[in-house]
């Protein structure tokens, strides 16, 4: 998979090639990344960059050359991948090694060699001006179309080294005939798909709000301008990181494109003493010549196999009921038990107690950090309540927000200095809370101990790990990375101490939905916005980077608490069924017909959840471009598929839409389990399905197809 021949490195994944070379002056020259090719060293890159107007003594003008690890200031004046104290830097090849497998990254989450088919190339470059060693890591996986890259910087000088920026990867493409698609935008509307042409200059898709953020997901696609779901070259870059990040798309004077992804250089600085090493987060590079659909399915496979790990990786995820939108913080033991008991009768498998169970928390103005039960509300304690719930035959889960502290809490009164603050400034509150300084070991230890002691004492099989505000008042440059490393230590220790527990990440909904978190927690709450129609957009946008098995999706009340919309129980259920399914409403107040509908949905979820969790995802109609959304999930041997179409608004006198399905077995017949109708796969895929929507707005049409 990795060959070194005549100074060329040939990296091959399943259907991809990545090629670069060491030139005669010792620079690393990028040659190719894309569809798998049979390359010959002499045919790949002309020597044209050795030119009469070169600036460098070795006859090289790097400004003209596609590189693997660009620096600034000598013969390249474009944006650099690594930058040391704004000093001129020149990096040249020193050594390399190739080995089977892949090592973990120090202190950071990263992909694993789950299928034992990885090979890694480590190339060390040396900067003799600054006495810095930079090692580039490339891991290829034989069964995957994703390459993992990261960088390590070691200070070889006697004096301290200042790092101003360290992107995890950089690629130079020889043209700028690209468009880019990224996923933005705010709380309650995460991962909106935004496409723009790649124009002259820089596009910095970044976030500096402390976590990976609602505003900008650390996942960006660079693609042919006309790429669609089935056709066109699509590259994607996903950072395995939960702090401030940046993906920079930069075109130069000759209209070539440089893409870099890593920690956001804004607000960043890192100091290394002699012999110390800095490790960047990992970036995942995926390519497909078969459009966004091909790219997403490759990346989903990678995430499901090489990012998600632990006991729950390949286990059916429980159907849960969460009390947040049912009671908010206004509950007592009797109410909780009544919901749990009815949920059990409906076939639901897990009850989750959300915010409000600890300290004296009856609203969001106090008690974060005081992780001891409020016995006025829950006289049997968490262990007693968990016992009562599990005795009913339904599992018990609990909400925490471990990284936070309320100014009105015993913890803050005892340790006001434990909250992140800038010297001389009262820290800004958000949702009445402050963030704990997880760069400190004593604070990390407190958080680990307080969560683990509860998990050890009570019968808890699920944790919702929330993180509900941005980080302000960072005390120094580079602090956000220190925080992120501390947060990873805390997360790692807690999840390892409770290996049987299913952890679900959350951050004001989907504000920290990234591959870093997914290394510890196999699923994330996709958004606080639970309106199914809004969720169509949010889940559709999320699906470009992340598989359905990572997305939490729940049925909530009508009218919806965020939008006051009133979609039917069927619409709410159908849309939630395409993720980790659950409920979040007061079922004890529902009429019998809704309870019957829930029972049927729960049964249906049990029938299709393996398909939803492990299947391949096909986007068929894009809600960002029209009034209809449709998608399909197909299992590996193509014997089963779940199809869901949604019409947002009814338009009078308009034909039924025709949607072409995908991924089925050519020539086969399929029966729709819901209607008994029999369809030819060829017709469904090439002629299309007339979608027989019910009358009205916000309606869904689903099929559960089984091959005959």
Active site residues: 466, 528
Site for ligand GLA in 285-344 (CB under 6 A): 324
User: Among 291, 509, 552, 615, which residue sits at the site for ligand GLA (rule: CB under 6 A)?
Assistant: 509
Q: What is the CA radius of gyration of the chain?
A: 26
Query: Cβ 188 to ligand GLA, closest distance in Å?
Result: 10
Query: Cβ 556 to ligand GLA, closest distance in Å?
Result: 11
Q: What is the DSSP string of 149-169?
A: EEEEEEE-SSS-EEEEEEEEE
Cβ nearer to ligand GLA, comparing 153 with 353: 353
Query: Cβ 526 to ligand GLA, closest distance in Å?
Result: 10
Query: Cβ 462 to ligand GLA, closest distance in Å?
Result: 13
Q: Give the residue among 372, 374, 365 at the shortest CA–CA distance from 331.
A: 374
Task: Point out which span in 160-168, 502-510, 567-575, 680-688 binds ligand GLA (CB under 6 A).
Answer: 502-510
Cβ nearer to ligand GLA, comparing 180 with 355: 355
Cβ nearer to ligand GLA, comparing 214 with 638: 214
Long-range contacts for 667-671 (Cβ within 8 Å, ≥24 apart)?
668/638, 668/707, 668/708, 669/707, 669/708, 670/641, 670/705, 670/706, 670/707, 670/708, 671/705, 671/706, 671/708
Backbone angles phi, psi at 223, to 5 degrees: -150, 165
Q: Give the residue among 644, 609, 463, 434 at the shortest CA–CA distance from 539.
A: 644
- The answer to whether 355 contacts ligand GLA (rule: CB under 6 A) is yes
User: Among 506, 517, 521, 681, which residue sits at the site for ligand GLA (rule: CB under 6 A)?
Assistant: 506
Burial code (b: 16+ CB inside 10 Å, e: under 16) for 96-108 equals bebeeebeebeeb
Size of the site for ligand GLA (CB under 6 A): 11
- What is the spatial distance between Cα 585 and Cα 563, in angstroms, rounded to a whole number? 15
- What is the spatial distance between Cα 283 and Cα 111, in angstroms, rounded to a whole number? 10
Cβ nearer to ligand GLA, comparing 281 with 552: 552
Residues 6+ away with beta carbon under 8 Å from 559: 565, 566
User: Among 138, 278, 312, 399, which residue sits at the site for ligand GLA (rule: CB under 6 A)?
Assistant: 399
Q: Are strands 216-223 and 179-186 parallel, antiparallel or unpaired?
A: antiparallel
Task: Point out which span in 241-249, 286-294, 416-424, 504-512 binds ligand GLA (CB under 6 A).
Answer: 504-512
Q: What is the DSSP string of 290-359?
A: BHHHHHHHHHHHHIIIII--STTTTSPPPPEEESHHHHTT---HHHHHHHHHHHHHTT--EEEE-S-SBT
- The answer to whether 468 contacts ligand GLA (rule: CB under 6 A) is yes
Angle CA(668)–CA(144)–CA(124) in degrees, nearest 5?
Answer: 170
- Which residue sits closest to ligand GLA, CB atoms considered? 355
Query: Cβ 335 to ligand GLA, closest distance in Å?
Result: 17
Cβ nearer to ligand GLA, comparing 157 with 185: 185
- The answer to whether 508 contacts ligand GLA (rule: CB under 6 A) is yes
- What is the spatial distance between Cα 79 and Cα 70, in angstroms, rounded to a whole number? 8
Backbone angles phi, psi at 199, to 5 degrees: -110, 170
- The answer to whether 528 contacts ligand GLA (rule: CB under 6 A) is yes
- The answer to whether 466 contacts ligand GLA (rule: CB under 6 A) is yes
- What is the spatial distance between Cα 640 and Cα 377, in angstroms, rounded to a whole number? 46
First to last CA, the chain: 39
Cβ nearer to ligand GLA, comparing 151 with 326: 326
Contact 20, 149 (CB under 8 A): no
Q: Which two tokens stand for residue 643?
A: 């199809």
Query: Cβ 357 to ligand GLA, closest distance in Å?
Result: 11
- What is the spatial distance between Cα 157 and Cα 173, in angstroms, rounded to a whole number? 33
Query: Cβ 145 to ligand GLA, closest distance in Å?
Result: 33
Task: Point out which span in 200-208, 309-317, 501-509, 532-540 binds ligand GLA (CB under 6 A).
Answer: 501-509
Please report which helix (H) or strand (E) contains residue 659, including its range. strand 658-659
Query: Cβ 311 to ligand GLA, closest distance in Å?
Result: 23
Cβ nearer to ligand GLA, comparing 15 with 364: 364
Task: Point out which span in 157-165, 301-309, 505-513, 636-644 binds ligand GLA (CB under 6 A).
Answer: 505-513
Provide the binding-site residues for ligand GLA, judged by CB under 6 A: 324, 354-355, 399, 466, 468, 506, 508-509, 525, 528
């Amino acid at each position: 998979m990795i060959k070194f021949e005549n100074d060329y490195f040939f990296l091959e994944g399943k259907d991809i090639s990545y090629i670069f070379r060491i030139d005669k002056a010792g620079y690393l020259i990028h040659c190719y990344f894309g569809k798998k090719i049979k390359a010959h060293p002499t045919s790949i890159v002309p020597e044209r960059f050795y030119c009469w107007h070169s600036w460098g003594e070795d006859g090289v003008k790097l400004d003209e050359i596609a590189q693997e690890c660009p620096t600034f200031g000598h013969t390249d004046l474009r944006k650099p991948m690594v930058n040391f104290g704004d000093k001129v830097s020149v990096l040249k090849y020193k050594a390399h090694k190739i080995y089977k497998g892949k090592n973990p990254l120090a202190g950071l989450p990263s992909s694993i060699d789950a299928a034992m088919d990885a090979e890694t190339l480590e190339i060390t470059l040396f900067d003799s001006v600054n006495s810095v060693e930079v090692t580039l890591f490339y891991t290829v996986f034989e069964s995957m179309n994703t390459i993992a890259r990261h960088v390590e910087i070691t200070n070889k000088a006697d004096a301290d080294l200042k790092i101003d920026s360290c992107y995890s990867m950089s690629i130079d493409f020889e043209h700028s005939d690209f468009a880019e698609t990224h996923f933005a935008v705010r709380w309650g509307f995460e991962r909106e798909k935004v496409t723009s042409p790649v124009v002259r200059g820089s596009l910095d898709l970044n976030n500096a709000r402390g976590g990976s953020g609602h505003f900008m997901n650390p996942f960006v696609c660079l693609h042919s301008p006309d790429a669609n779901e089935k056709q066109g070259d699509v590259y994607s870059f996903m950072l395995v990181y939960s702090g401030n990040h940046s993906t920079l798309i930069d075109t130069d004077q000759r209209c070539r494109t440089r893409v870099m992804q890593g920690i956001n250089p804004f607000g960043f600085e890192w100091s290394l003493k002699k012999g110390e090493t800095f490790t960047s987060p990992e970036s995942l590079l995926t390519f497909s010549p078969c459009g966004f659909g091909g790219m997403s399915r490759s990346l989903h496979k990678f995430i499901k196999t090489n990012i998600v790990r632990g006991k729950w990786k390949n286990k059916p995820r429980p159907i849960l009921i969460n009390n947040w939108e049912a009671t908010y913080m206004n509950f007592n033991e009797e109410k909780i038990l009544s919901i749990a008991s009815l949920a059990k009768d409906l076939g639901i498998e897990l009850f989750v107690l959300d915010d409000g169970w600890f300290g004296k928390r009856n609203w969001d103005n106090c008690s974060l950090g005081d992780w001891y039960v409020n016995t006025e509300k829950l006289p049997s304690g968490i262990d007693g309540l968990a016992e009562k719930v599990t005795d009913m035959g339904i599992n018990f889960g609990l909400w925490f927000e471990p990284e936070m502290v309320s100014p009105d809490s015993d913890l803050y009164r005892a340790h006001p200095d434990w909250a992140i603050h800038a010297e001389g400034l009262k820290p800004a509150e958000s949702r009445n809370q402050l963030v704990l300084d997880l760069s400190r070991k004593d604070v990390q230890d407190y958080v680990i101990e307080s969560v683990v002691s509860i998990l050890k004492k009570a019968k808890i099989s699920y944790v919702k790990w929330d993180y509900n505000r941005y980080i302000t008042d960072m005390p120094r440059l580079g602090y956000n990375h220190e925080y992120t490393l501390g947060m990873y230590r805390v997360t790692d220790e807690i999840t390892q101490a409770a290996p049987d527990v299913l952890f679900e990440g959350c951050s004001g909904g989907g504000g920290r939905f990234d591959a870093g978190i997914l290394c510890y927690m196999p699923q994330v709450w996709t958004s606080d916005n639970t309106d199914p129609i809004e969720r169509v957009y949010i889940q559709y946008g999320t699906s470009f980077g992340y598989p359905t098995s990572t997305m939490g999706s729940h049925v909530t009340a009508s009218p919806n608490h965020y939008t006051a919309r009133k979609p039917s129980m069927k619409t709410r259920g159908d849309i939630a069924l395409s993720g980790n399914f659950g409920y979040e409403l007061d079922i004890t107040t529902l009429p019998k017909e809704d309870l019957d509908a829930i029972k049927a949905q729960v049964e249906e979820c049990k029938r299709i959840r393996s398909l939803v969790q492990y299947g391949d995802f096909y986007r068929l109609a894009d809600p960002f471009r029209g009034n209809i959304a449709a998608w399909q999930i197909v299992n590996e041997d193509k014997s089963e598929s779940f199809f869901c179409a949604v019409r947002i608004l009814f338009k009078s006198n308009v034909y039924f839409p025709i949607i072409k399905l995908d991924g089925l077995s050519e020539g086969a017949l399929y029966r729709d389990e819901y209607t008994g109708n029999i369809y030819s796969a060829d017709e469904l895929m090439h002629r299309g399905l007339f979608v027989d929507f019910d009358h009205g707005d916000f309606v869904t049409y689903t099929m559960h197809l089984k091959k005959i």
